[in-house]
Amino acid sequence: MSAERPRSPSINDVAELANVSYQTVSRVLNNHPNVKASTRAKVQAAIDQLGYSPNSAARTLVTGRSRILGVITLDVDNVDGLPPMYGIERRARDHGYFVSTATLDRVTRASMRAAVDQLAEQRVAGMVVIVPTEAASDAMASLPPGLPLVLIEGEPGRGIATAAVDQQAGARRATEHLLELGHETVFHVRGLSDWMQTQDRISGWRGALAAAGREAPMPLAGDWTARSGYEAGLMLARIPELTAVFAGNDDMALGILLALSERGLRVPEDVSVVGFDDGTAPGYYNPPLTTVRQDFTTVGRRAIEMLLEQIAHGTRYEERFVSEPELIVRKSTAPVRAQRR
Amino acid sequence: MSAERPRSPSINDVAELANVSYQTVSRVLNNHPNVKASTRAKVQAAIDQLGYSPNSAARTLVTGRSRILGVITLDVDNVDGLPPMYGIERRARDHGYFVSTATLDRVTRASMRAAVDQLAEQRVAGMVVIVPTEAASDAMASLPPGLPLVLIEGEPGRGIATAAVDQQAGARRATEHLLELGHETVFHVRGLSDWMQTQDRISGWRGALAAAGREAPMPLAGDWTARSGYEAGLMLARIPELTAVFAGNDDMALGILLALSERGLRVPEDVSVVGFDDGTAPGYYNPPLTTVRQDFTTVGRRAIEMLLEQIAHGTRYEERFVSEPELIVRKSTAPVRAQRR
DNA sequence: AGAAGAGTTGTGAACGACCACAATGCTGTT
DNA sequence: AACAGCATTGTGGTCGTTCACAACTCTTCT
């Protein structure tokens, strides 16, 4: 029953049909200049007729370079797919590269190692790592040292190139915005504690409060989900002096919005809420959410550019791209009003 | 400046170090039974010492099989990354396969063709296509005919295996739910018109209305985004007899919720709203959204299983997996009340 | 006309692994 | 002691492509 699918046509089949040597076909394939136009046409015709497509494995084998970009990323329930957000595949393809993905369900040294091995086996030309936890940056140490590498949203330093949004600046702007509206202090619901973004947003928020001479209350612990935001929101609703919340991301802000509403607190009249991320939805929360917009597109583009430069250069090197996030003011924030209860 | 990164160690380097032939190393690599335990250990030690990792390109070349699964999917702004949702990479890896992705920014015959060529070049062992538009199913015709293939959320038939959620059943349940609550009729905001889901959800909704002897109003046109839902919501709010809406997805439902609220209509007291998809957020909309939950996990698992069966079998064949969605009743739906205005 | 030189095409080797088969070592039986 | 038979290891060929170099074919100039 198991039919042998015939191997696809090779460069030799094309050569035979076109009555030239395999090398000439190879030259046509690689756009070498010194091929007579008529020969080129003849070969092209044979290629089309056979439906020939070059075998990238053979090519990789002989050249030692693979035109595959490896992507290591998370595959966890709480979080959306990261690589599509950054448009990684599209950009790679524009430069003639394939993308092979390795995902992590947990971020441990062992799982990082497994992902790296998986990509190493494919002799990828370079790697993009989108694993925004501190553990990931450590694990980078185990990588083949010369291999081109860019970390998206990872810790800068250690000779590794990074492309990231300035999380601290974003969190600072969000907090300042609330302070400018006259809020005495700003409460914070943080994301998963081992994420880079969580730490950076906390310090941006702390920094803004400190600069205004306010004390930072203890952040509430969330896990990026709306559910955790909801629970934090129920907690916050018990605090009489609550007037402003900075949520670690928009999903949690959504949960907070619901919890406050259930507890009879109006946003923004009683409490102002700011989120972080901004996709297509937050502008249509009820009320539309003031949030910090991250420019994933630019980060993705620069990351790929940096990686390709390293590949062209034949070596890894440190470089740092930082994108400035933008505060998007919508209806979930307003000046404090005198008294709340 | 351009340092030549040395090639990684090959099977020969390992053989030399371990004082055996390369074939013995190969046997160790592939777990052949007839290798003396002491030899195996010696080889393994050499492998570890050199940090050797097999070259998948060489392996592919000689065996003719590639252990790469190709994924063709969309890369458009309105839509989240699809493959992570289905857990494609994780499952593939569990079975020893790599995943290479090709994305489409527009679904045209040409772009499909380009994606297919890209994967063909890598001699993928099989393909998963997650492009839920009708055009995609057509374009499948251009694929190498024997190549194992599974369509996720694609049109069944034509000898192609498919794994999908029963969209019609989901839409029917959603609509029946509203009718059971006493609503006279149910308005619908559809998604992008060329998507399979859009058509199926429309016919499920129509079917339920017809079965109840109601006439289906004309669906409003959305594009899956909250923004388009918001605009449709503003339109719906002008209709005096509006009491129930079935939104094509949750994002649009979010926009509808906001629009209705801005127009002074309460959900669910004045209008009931049902969505479709169910991720982590809709349970925390205000009010929490009644919606239809799709089991992406099972669909993804079955899709990969089907694909691997085809690969083992050495041929493509038709098979059909349908997952039954589940209505999740939350607070956005309630029985009609006598009079609205 | 002949030679230099550019343009064009062909040949042999190599990349790293697996497969089929051959060769060797070891065990046990008669 | 010799041989069958199994376990273990080694050898040559191959996959499809590129690279380095050799060889051939035209021009063009002297």
Q: For position A4, what pLDDT does the model report?
A: 47
Give the residue carrying structure tokens 């926009």. Answer: B255
By the CB < 8 Å criterion, does A19 face chain B? no
User: Using an 8 Å Cβ cutoff, are B42 and B35 in contact?
Assistant: no
**C-beta atoms surrounding A150 within 10 Å:** 27
User: Using an 8 Å Cβ cutoff, are A232 and A201 in contact?
Assistant: no
Q: Exposed, middle or buried: residue B81 (CB in 10 Å: 0-12, 13-18, 19+)?
A: buried
The residue that leads in pLDDT, A121 or A274, is A274
Residues contacting residue A191 through CB under 8 Å, at least 6 positions apart: A197, A198, A201, A222, A223, A224, A248, A249, A252
A286-340 residue pLDDT tens: 999 999 999 998 999 999 999 999 998 888 889 999 999 999 999 999 999 755 4
Instruction: Specify the CATH number of the domain A66-165+296-323.
Output: 3.40.50.2300
* Helix, strand counts (H, E) of chain A: 13, 12
Q: Is the Cα torsion angle B289, B199, B132, B308 positive or negative in sign? A: positive
* CA proximity to A153, closest of A277, A6, A335: A277
Q: Helix or strand or coil: residue B9?
A: coil
Q: Is A106's pLDDT higher than 90?
A: no
φ, ψ for residue A319, nearest 5 deg: -160, 155
Distance from CA of B239 to the nearest CA of A (A): 21
For residue B240, whether the previous peptide bond is cis, meaning omega lies within 30 degrees of 0, is no
Q: Helix or strand or coil: residue B128?
A: strand
Distance from CA of B196 to the nearest CA of A (A): 22
By the CB < 8 Å criterion, does B87 face chain A? yes
How far: B21 CA to C29 C1' (Å)?
Answer: 32
**CB-based contact B93 A118, cutoff 8 Å:** yes
Residue ranges in A67-195 assigned as alpha helix (H): 82-86, 88-94, 109-121, 134-139, 167-180
Comma-separated ranges of CATH 3.40.50.2300 domains in chain B:
66-165+296-324, 167-293
Residues of B in contact with A56 (CB under 8 A): 57, 121-123
Rounded Cα distance between B292 and B169, Å, is 10
- One digit per residue, the tens of pLDDT, for chain B of length 341 reads 333 456 789 999 999 898 988 999 999 998 888 888 888 898 999 999 998 999 999 999 998 888 999 999 988 765 666 777 788 998 999 999 999 999 998 888 888 888 988 998 899 999 999 988 877 877 777 677 788 999 999 888 888 999 999 999 999 999 999 999 999 999 999 999 989 999 999 999 999 999 999 999 999 999 999 999 999 999 999 999 999 999 999 999 999 999 999 999 999 999 999 999 999 999 999 999 999 999 998 999 999 999 999 998 888 889 999 999 999 999 999 999 755 44
Whether A27 CB is under 7 Å from strand C: yes
Distance from CA of A30 to the nearest CA of B (A): 15
In one-letter notation, the amino acid at residue A214 is: R
Comma-separated ranges of CATH 1.10.260.40 domains in chain A:
11-54
Distance from CA of B313 to the nearest CA of A (A): 6
* CA proximity to A272, closest of A169, A172, A175: A175
Residue B284 DSSP code: G
Residue B176 DSSP code: H
Q: For position A193, what pLDDT does the model report?
A: 93
Per-residue pLDDT band for A85 (boundaries 50, 70, 90) equals confident
In one-letter notation, the amino acid at residue A9 is: P
Q: Helix or strand or coil: residue A30?
A: coil
Q: Which nucleotides of D are covered by protein (CB under 7 A)?
A: 7-20
Best of B104, B258, B286 to disrupt the A interface (most A CBs within 10 Å) is B286
Q: For position B341, what pLDDT does the model report?
A: 45
User: Using an 8 Å Cβ cutoff, are B255 and B158 in contact?
Assistant: no
Q: Is the Cα torsion angle B257, B258, B259, B265 positive or negative in sign? A: positive
Q: For position A224, what pLDDT does the model report?
A: 94
One-character DSSP codes across A244-292: EEEESSHHHHHHHHHHHHHTT--TTTT-EEE-SB--SSGGGSSSPPBEE
Q: For position A341, what pLDDT does the model report?
A: 45
Nearest chain B residue (CA) to A77: B85
Lowest mean pLDDT among A37-41, A252-256, B156-160: B156-160
How far: A22 CA to D27 C1' (Å)?
Answer: 27
Q: For position B246, what pLDDT does the model report?
A: 98
How far: B44 CA to C16 C1' (Å)?
Answer: 18
Q: Is the Cα torsion angle B180, B181, B184, B185 positive or negative in sign? A: negative
Whether B34 CB is under 7 Å from strand C: no
Q: Is A78's pLDDT higher than 70?
A: no
User: Using an 8 Å Cβ cutoff, are A255 and A225 in contact?
Assistant: yes
Q: Helix or strand or coil: residue A137?
A: helix
Strands, E, within B146-243: which ranges? 149-152, 161-165, 187-190, 220-221
Q: Strand A187-190 to strand A220-221: parallel, antiparallel, or no bridges (unpaired)?
A: parallel
How many Å separate Cα B304 from the centre of its chain? 12
Rounded Cα distance between A167 and A162, Å, is 13
The CATH number of domain B167-293, selected from 1.10.10.10, 3.50.50.60, 2.60.40.3500, 3.40.50.2300: 3.40.50.2300
User: Can you tell me the mean pLDDT for A153-158?
Assistant: 85
Comma-separated ranges of CATH 3.40.50.2300 domains in chain A:
66-165+296-323, 167-294
Rounded Cα distance between A167 and A198, Å, is 9
Per-residue pLDDT band for A147 (boundaries 50, 70, 90) equals confident
Q: Exposed, middle or buried: residue A222 (CB in 10 Å: 0-12, 13-18, 19+)?
A: buried
Residue B324 DSSP code: P
- Top CATH class, A167-294: alpha beta
State the DSSP H helix or E strand holding residue A103, giving kind and residue range, or none if neither: strand A98-104
The CATH number of domain A11-54, selected from 1.10.260.40, 1.20.1090.10, 1.10.3720.10, 3.30.9.10: 1.10.260.40
Residue B141 DSSP code: G
* CA proximity to A244, closest of A329, A179, A339, A169: A179
User: Using an 8 Å Cβ cutoff, are A212 and A179 in contact?
Assistant: yes
Q: Is the domain covering B66-165+296-324 a CATH 3.40.800.20 domain? A: no
Give the residue carrying structure tokens 């190498």. Answer: B144
How many Å separate Cα B124 from the centre of its chain? 19
Strand order in the sheet with B272-274: B220-221, B187-190, B244-247, B272-274
Per-residue pLDDT band for A209 (boundaries 50, 70, 90) equals very high
Residues of B in contact with A86 (CB under 8 A): none
In one-letter notation, the amino acid at residue A69 is: L
How far: B58 CA to C20 C1' (Å)?
Answer: 18
Residue A340 tokens, joined: 């709340």
One-character DSSP codes across B204-230: HHHHHHHHTTPPPPPPEE--SSHHHHH
**Protein-nucleic contacts, chain A 41-70 to strand C, CB < 7 Å:** 58, 61-62, 64
Q: For position A132, what pLDDT does the model report?
A: 85
Residue B174 DSSP code: H
